[in-house]
Structure 1
Amino acid sequence: MATSIPGVEAAGKTWLGHPRGLFLLFFAEMWERFSYYGMRAILIFYLTKHFLFGEDRAYLLYGAYTSLVYITPVIGGYLADRFLGPRKAVLVGGVFIAIGHFLIAITEGPGGQDGFYLNGFYLALASIIVGTGFLKANISVLVGELYPRDDARRDPAFSIFYMGINVGGMMGPIICGLLGELYGWSWGFGAAGVGMLLGLIMFVWLKPWLLGKGEPPAPAQLRAPVAAGLSQEWTIYLGAALGVVAIWLVIRYAELLGYALLGFAALTVLYIVWRTMKTLGKVDRDRMFAALFLIALNPLFWGLFEQTGSSLNIFTDRNVDRVLFGWEVPASMFQSVNSVFIILLAPLFAVLWTILDKRRLEPSSPAKFGIGLILCGAGFLVLVAGAAMAGENLTPVLFVFLIYLFHTMAELCFSPVGLSAMTRLSVPSMVGLVMGTWFLAMAAGNFIAGLIARATGSGDAGGGTQVLDVYSRIGWFAIVVGGLVLLVSPYIKRLMHLDLIASEDKP
């Protein structure tokens, strides 16, 4: 492993067979996810215990925040495609995120719904949302730019990158949660800001490791003045600041966001279809339709997977024997199981895809999606079977670990593979927009997850039977859809035109 001071002369070196830039992005994203999941872990308690919101209002604000976090990458991806390039977009996004976390920390106030401190809190959330819009989609684009489109290391690279997300997702709730609960909310949110700041420092200091990737498409145009002496670049940054103000106003009307989300998603997909039909040749058009097929499966998968934080969490609390070594483990602690499994399994999946590729047995991206849906459905059915075996007794905790194991394997067949496919199938002028649409589809999935959770009736006492009935139905549904995806995957693979990518990427 190289130990020299980073610089241009060392830019071509690799670690573990991958460009060193992958590991820069690994750690930058790890710290960003540390800040996000750390803040998210204490957000609902901050709303109910500090601002004294009722649960209905708190859940509404929480849902508005998480939805907007997934919507804004569409805009951030578009601005990176057309103007900034992904590297500058990631940098400015990290700055807005860090400002937001520190703003929450310094505007804690005495508690209760004091207008000044509450508005400061809304402004901080808006800053994090805008920053995530710039950073989230574009850091994945940077990973894709480190590899040729036909490089067999792409999927393993995204699996490694995805592991970094989960390392941050595991550490954030532990550190920020403990600080927030034991020493005060500002300590927890401040720790989240420090995490993002560490990620920014690494991203700037180790810039040469990116090998010049992710730069603006037209640097001279970006520096040209466009209004009041401001360059195009700084005009975009000013627009982002105004976007913070706009979201600050919108987030207080959280009940409208569900409808706005669906409408925005539909318009975005229609725009991509229109632009694809109007501007692209047959091969690129086929690839874009293959990408849209994969995006269409995204809401279904995340609608099922995201039961972990809602109905599955409630089921674990009420219907599972959580006593381990004489201690009853709080249900919320099981939320870390997914991240632990990701950390353990992501390297194994990266090796698995590489071995299968060498033997020409690796499933295509759409086939992996089908496998992921089948595994996700099987996880629900395993939990249902465990509860049936327990009868009138509490469900053994083993089956909670098993559903997380199945869902983690499903996630590894889905999310890193999807991130890789979006960068591989998109034309360069649309890759940020398509990546943003991928995250927009995830936002729709989170909305669907709420509808499924509501259907389980898990908010009512004794709702375990109804939860299991819903889990049985969605489990079989996911397996059937996954089987259908496997059936059509050869056709979708042909649309991807993978055989032409190597020749297209040659200079």
Structure 2
Amino acid sequence: MTTNDVSTIGSQEREFLGHPIGLTICFLTEMWERFSYYGMRALLILFLTKHFLFSAGEASLIYGAYTGLVYLLPVLGGYLADRYLGSRKAVTFGAILLVLGHISLAFEGPQAVLDGDMVVRSEAHLSIFFLSLALIITGVGFLKANISTIVGALYGPTDPRRDGGFTIFYMGINVGSFLATLIVAGVGEKYGWGYGFGIAGIGMLLGLVVFLKGQSLLDGRADPPNPEELTERIFLGLSREHVIYIVGVLLVGVMWWLVQNQKVVGNLLGGSGLLMVAIVLVYGFIKCTNVERERLMVATILIVFQVVFWALFEQQGSSLTLLADQQFDLDLGIFSVAASQVQTMNPLFIIVFAPIFAWAWLWLSKRGWEPSTPAKFAIAMFLVGIGYILFAYGMGLTDGPGKSFFWLFIIYLFMTLAELCLSPVGLSMITKLSVARLVGMMMGMWFLFTAFANYVAGFISSLTGDSAHGANSAELDVTATIDLFHSVGVFALGVGVVLLVLTPIMRKWMHGVH
């Protein structure tokens, strides 16, 4: 390993505990944002099936459309930040929308009731609910990709601490997620949906305050690229910055319509993904050097393949939560947990294992043994595939409700270990392989394909519904679910094999970037 390989040139000089000091602000901001998001997500599928009385299939598709759109908007948010706003202004605007969205969710409205075969819901409160989702979707669009971009900007291009920094950042996400699924989910399910959603909104407000107060610790690395362009009057006497904010507000209306039309969302995500791949490849061949082009191709391949992982990982908030509620014994002896709190295992495992993984990658790197990024992706696919196969086997051992909690423990453990091999490494990979002028768009592309994966996750979850109990039933078809989970586990193993075969080629195309 050469001296250049371990250079910290270009990294933020001020440090805290061995990393750039700005990482602390990104850590805390993302922690509170994820507290609000994951707290709300933990309750969403149960709120849809128990409060609004949607069927398991309908609720899963709404869930998939919502989580899909949450990851679609960072494509636009990343571009606007790269080109005009800068990460600081984009994150601030997004956080304001998120606060409004989470607080408005607290107004849950009256309980839906069955009138024969018809479900009677308050249409006004249902519209407010979808508006809340639209505000959150748009807010995440302006915040999510750009807070990750700030983390990347804190490190020089060859700083060996980068992967470790992203893993620490990722641990912050999961501290927020752990607290959310423990507190927000528990309060919402046990004492009232509105109380849970309200606590999530308070968490997001804290995140906004932390980010605004901590700007001095970022040393200008999140500022607009060309401040003078933002003040330019471009429409009806309004500055470019104000026009961007107005467009953001109008996007809320578009998201409100889309989240209620799930099939349109699926077509939009699939089409956008193909278009984005085409744009990146054309740009690579026309505007990039051979090295830049091949690095972009590796990034694109890995971005596409991650769809399989996230489609399975995101069953946590949909089918796995419904299964926990309907099929598993949640009395653990010393205490019992609510179905939504089962999701606490994922962030808890992250908190335990993330420091170990961060240390392990650095230890292996110093000795030249660290697996390449493509190899880490392959390992992730193997782990998640094994987890689903074991879970399907365990579910089949017991007929009816009361299944052992052990099998939920197993699938969450394997998904978490897989996640640590793919997600923080993937975010770091984008910032390393992308050319500087495209890093925001490539980060947006990562979230675009994550968006498509979330929509696919909702579709997979909808296949677990049991139509035999009636169109409005939230009951799951357990036998079909066992077969489905075994099949997707085997498929994930196959994808892992393909990635492993492609790894030597991709390592060559990465041209020294690990």
TM over 0.5: yes
Mapped partners of 2:444, 2:296: distance in 1:
14
Question: Is 1:314–1:458's contact at 8 Å kept on the other side of the alignment?
Answer: no
Mapped partners of 1:96, 1:121: distance in 2:
15
Unaligned runs of 5+ in 2: 1-11, 113-120, 469-474
Question: Is 1:12–1:211's contact at 8 Å kept on the other side of the alignment?
Answer: no
Q: Select the residue among 486, 489, 506 that pairs with 2:500.
A: 486
Q: Find the residue that maps to 2:261 and give its secondary structure.
A: helix
Query: Within 5 Å, which residues of 2 pair with 1:319-358?
Result: 320=328, 322-325=330-333, 329-358=337-366
**Using a 3 Å threshold, how does the CA distance of structure 1 residues 472 and 54 change in structure 2: closer, same or farther?**
closer
Normalising to structure 2: TM-score of the pair? 0.87
Q: What is the count of residue pairs matched by the alignment?
A: 489
**Using a 3 Å threshold, how does the CA distance of structure 1 residues 128 and 474 change in structure 2: closer, same or farther?**
closer
**Using a 3 Å threshold, how does the CA distance of structure 1 residues 408 and 77 change in structure 2: closer, same or farther?**
same
- Residue in structure 1 matched with residue 485 of structure 2 by the alignment: 471
Question: Is 1:30–1:164's contact at 8 Å kept on the other side of the alignment?
Answer: yes
**Using a 3 Å threshold, how does the CA distance of structure 1 residues 290 and 328 change in structure 2: closer, same or farther?**
same
Normalising to structure 1: TM-score of the pair? 0.88
Q: Find the residue that maps to 1:226 and give its secondary structure.
A: strand
Mapped partners of 1:326, 1:481: distance in 2:
40
Question: Is 1:458–1:467's contact at 8 Å kept on the other side of the alignment?
Answer: no
**Using a 3 Å threshold, how does the CA distance of structure 1 residues 383 and 102 change in structure 2: closer, same or farther?**
closer
Mapped partners of 1:465, 1:109: distance in 2:
35
Q: Select the residue among 159, 172, 181 that pairs with 1:173.
A: 181
Question: Is 2:186–2:341's contact at 8 Å kept on the other side of the alignment?
Answer: no
One-letter amino acid matched to 2:498? L
Identity across matched positions, percent? 46
Deviations 1:221-242 (A, max 9, x none): 1222212222211111111111
- Residue in structure 1 matched with residue 440 of structure 2 by the alignment: 432
Q: Select the residue among 158, 163, 181 that pairs with 1:155.
A: 163
Moved more, 411-420 or 45-54: 45-54
Mapped partners of 1:171, 1:264: distance in 2:
34
Question: Is 1:37–1:172's contact at 8 Å kept on the other side of the alignment?
Answer: yes
**Using a 3 Å threshold, how does the CA distance of structure 1 residues 47 and 475 change in structure 2: closer, same or farther?**
closer
Mapped partners of 2:274, 2:80: distance in 1:
20
- Residue in structure 2 matched with residue 262 of structure 1 by the alignment: 270
1:256 Cα offset (Å): 2.5
Q: Find the residue that maps to 2:234 and give its secondary structure.
A: strand
Mapped partners of 1:314, 1:50: distance in 2:
14
Deviations 1:257-315 (A, max 9, x none): 22222122222222222222222221111111111011011111112222333444455
Q: Select the residue among 374, 398, 413 that pairs with 1:366.
A: 374
Deviations 1:396-429 (A, max 9, x none): 4333312221211100000000000011111122
Q: Find the residue that maps to 1:85 and give its secondary structure.
A: helix
Q: Select the residue among 196, 211, 226 that pairs with 1:188.
A: 196
- Residue in structure 1 matched with residue 217 of structure 2 by the alignment: 209
Q: Taking CA–CA contacts closer than 8 Å with sequence separation of 6 or more, which of the two structures ends up with the larger relative contact order?
A: 2
- Residue in structure 2 matched with residue 26 of structure 1 by the alignment: 27
Mapped partners of 1:157, 1:427: distance in 2:
20
- Residue in structure 2 matched with residue 4 of structure 1 by the alignment: none
- Residue in structure 2 matched with residue 383 of structure 1 by the alignment: 391
Question: Is 1:77–1:435's contact at 8 Å kept on the other side of the alignment?
Answer: yes
Unaligned runs of 5+ in 1: 1-10, 502-507
Question: Is 2:152–2:428's contact at 8 Å kept on the other side of the alignment?
Answer: yes
1:155 Cα offset (Å): 0.9
Mapped partners of 2:43, 2:18: distance in 1:
38
Q: Find the residue that maps to 2:259 and give its secondary structure.
A: helix
Mapped partners of 1:46, 1:313: distance in 2:
12
One-letter amino acid matched to 1:221? E
Query: Within 5 Å, which residues of 2 pair with 1:88-487?
Result: 88-105=89-106, 107-109=107-109, 113-181=121-189, 184-316=192-324, 320=328, 322-325=330-333, 329-386=337-394, 396-455=404-463, 463-487=477-501
Mapped partners of 1:331, 1:481: distance in 2:
31
Q: Find the residue that maps to 1:362 and give its secondary structure.
A: coil
Mapped partners of 1:293, 1:419: distance in 2:
14
Mapped partners of 1:459, 1:294: distance in 2:
37
Moved more, 385-394 or 232-241: 385-394
Mapped partners of 1:239, 1:318: distance in 2:
43
**Using a 3 Å threshold, how does the CA distance of structure 1 residues 111 and 307 change in structure 2: closer, same or farther?**
closer
1:344 Cα offset (Å): 0.5
One-letter amino acid matched to 2:134? A
Mapped partners of 2:479, 2:306: distance in 1:
28
Q: Find the residue that maps to 2:260 and give its secondary structure.
A: helix
One-letter amino acid matched to 1:406? F
1:64 Cα offset (Å): 2.5
Task: Give the structure with the larger helix fraction.
Answer: 1
- Residue in structure 2 matched with residue 17 of structure 1 by the alignment: 18
Mapped partners of 2:485, 2:305: distance in 1:
19
One-letter amino acid matched to 2:488? I
1:56 Cα offset (Å): 5.3
Deviations 1:54-73 (A, max 9, x none): 66554443333222111111
Mapped partners of 1:190, 1:336: distance in 2:
19
Moved more, 170-179 or 160-169: 170-179
- Residue in structure 1 matched with residue 471 of structure 2 by the alignment: none
Deviations 1:40-89 (A, max 9, x none): 23334444555565665544433332221111111111111211122221
Mapped partners of 1:109, 1:462: distance in 2:
26
Mapped partners of 1:197, 1:465: distance in 2:
43
One-letter amino acid matched to 1:472? H
**Using a 3 Å threshold, how does the CA distance of structure 1 residues 389 and 128 change in structure 2: closer, same or farther?**
closer
Question: Is 2:30–2:147's contact at 8 Å kept on the other side of the alignment?
Answer: yes
Mapped partners of 1:101, 1:156: distance in 2:
31
Computed over aligned residues only, the root mean square deviation of the Cα atoms, in angstroms, reads 2.8
- Residue in structure 1 matched with residue 512 of structure 2 by the alignment: 498
- Residue in structure 1 matched with residue 8 of structure 2 by the alignment: none
